[in-house]
Amino acid sequence: MAIIVQKFGGTSVKSPENRRAALGHIAKAKNMGYDVVVVVSAMGRMGDPYATDTLIHLLKTEGGGEVSPKKKDLIMACGEIISTAVMASYIELQGFKTEAMTGFQAGILTTADFGNAEIIKVDPKPIKEKLREGNIVVVAGFQGQTEKGEITTLGRGGSDTSAAALGGYLEAELVEIYTDVPGIAVTDPRIVPEAPFISKISYDEVIAMADNGAKVIHPRAVKAAKKFNTPLKVKSTFEEDGGTIIGPAESDLTISGIPLQRNLVEAKFSRADKYNDKETEKLLKLSCDGSVYLDSTGASIVLIDGEQEKSAKILAEELKSNAEFYHDIAKVSVVYKSTVDSRMLNKEITELFLENNIPVVIHQSLNNCSKFIINDKDATKAVDIIFHRYF
């Protein structure tokens, strides 16, 4: 029987009404004859009792601020486990047979990078066996285990990655990512409410969007789906139809995305000699967007999250470099079609920023994506003017 994987994000499993809406999609797929695998996130957001951020807060309060990444993973994995038990029981109450599994029971093997582990492989046998018995299998997203059996988590948005990887290894016909918006829009609908939703878009376009901050889907999830050539669909839990299908084919749009990354720190590394490949690799690992930018003085700029400033200082010492930090930085990017004249596009956007008194710290164009580093106070205005220039 064909397998479908359905992932429900935090808002979709947060309350009884929302779980009922999620059930509608699960029951529909099951009644259509699919073998259904449901992947769930933790219930709700910060402040909600079992949300991941709430659990981290508990640990930080008791652990004196600094906690080991391994222990942090142990508590973070609980949110999804709670959600799995709740969702599976609820589905069962509606008359379906269910099996609830942690990420580790579901055969998800990861690296030992606690807090940001990568999936090495998935053993499809445990889930397949439960599907064969007629169960709807509910799996805790965001988690796996190392070879040694230690519990790991997959980084923010990791449940998307769990769903995509399960879809790949189970050879699913489709992976559906259910969320609180009806698909992928050109830009975050919270910033530009009139931004249109895209019906069809390529893996590469979405990877460029997600790598540069569009948090509607995790970039690793899209990369995993691309590797297995599994179609992904992003859609709303609260609507019957619609959604964005992600596959090999490009969208019909010249500009398919204007992602924004906020509250960044610009770490500027400088020294007399250039960095060799190994050193550049270390800078890349530190960066939150997989890029090292060069400024006009030849210094290497890396964008980091505030939390990583300490690691950046340690790296600067190791690289015998001078490090300067600039706070309240944002990055707005424009994802464009391969046929676009990028020089022309960059000229237009640079002029647009100038007209609107938005200083650009650095600009770089790479892989059909133009990135502009700006001050965080100009972030939403920058997205808005680019959107209205092209749409």
Residues near ligand ADP (CB under 6 A) are 9-12, 41, 157, 179-181, 184-185, 187-190, 214-216
Q: Return the one option of Mg ion, ligand ADP, none that residue 153 interacts with (CB less than 5 to 8 A, by type).
A: none
* Long-range pairs of 348-355 with CB within 8 A, sequence gap ≥ 24: 348/389, 349/386, 349/389, 352/385, 352/386, 352/389, 353/382, 353/385
State in angstroms the smallest separation of the CB of 263 from ligand ADP.
15
Q: Kindly tell me which of 216 and 312 has the beta carbon lying closer to ligand ADP.
A: 216
Q: Kindly tell me which of 184 and 334 has the beta carbon lying closer to ligand ADP.
A: 184
State in angstroms the smallest separation of the CB of 386 from ligand ADP.
13
Q: Return the one option of ligand ADP, Mg ion, none that residue 189 interacts with (CB less than 5 to 8 A, by type).
A: ligand ADP
- Residue 301 forms beta bridges with which residues? 268, 293
Residue numbers at the binding site for Mg ion (CB under 5 A): 9, 157
373: number of CA atoms within 13 Å, CB side?
24
Q: Return the one option of ligand ADP, Mg ion, none that residue 181 interacts with (CB less than 5 to 8 A, by type).
A: ligand ADP
| Angle of CA points 212, 144, 168, to nearest 5° | 65
Helix residue ranges per DSSP H, 103-157: 125-132
Q: Kindly tell me which of 4 and 131 has the beta carbon lying closer to ligand ADP.
A: 4
State in angstroms the smallest separation of the CB of 45 from Mg ion.
11
Tokens representing residue 6 in the block = 């359905």
- Of all residues in this chain, which one has the CB nearest to Mg ion in the complex? 157
- Of all residues in this chain, which one has the CB nearest to ligand ADP in the complex? 9
331's CB contacts (< 8 A; 6+ apart) are 212, 213, 260, 261, 264, 289, 303, 371, 372, 373, 374
State in angstroms the smallest separation of the CB of 10 from Mg ion.
7
Q: Kindly tell me which of 195 and 303 has the beta carbon lying closer to ligand ADP.
A: 195
Q: Kindly tell me which of 18 and 370 has the beta carbon lying closer to Mg ion.
A: 18
Contact 40, 7 (CB under 8 A): yes
Q: Kindly tell me which of 132 and 262 has the beta carbon lying closer to ligand ADP.
A: 262
State in angstroms the smallest separation of the CB of 184 from ligand ADP.
5
State in angstroms the smallest separation of the CB of 206 from ligand ADP.
9
Of 28, 80, 4, nearest in space to 232 by CA: 4
State in angstroms the smallest separation of the CB of 13 from ligand ADP.
9
Q: Kindly tell me which of 9 and 219 has the beta carbon lying closer to Mg ion.
A: 9
Tokens representing residue 381 in the block = 């205005």
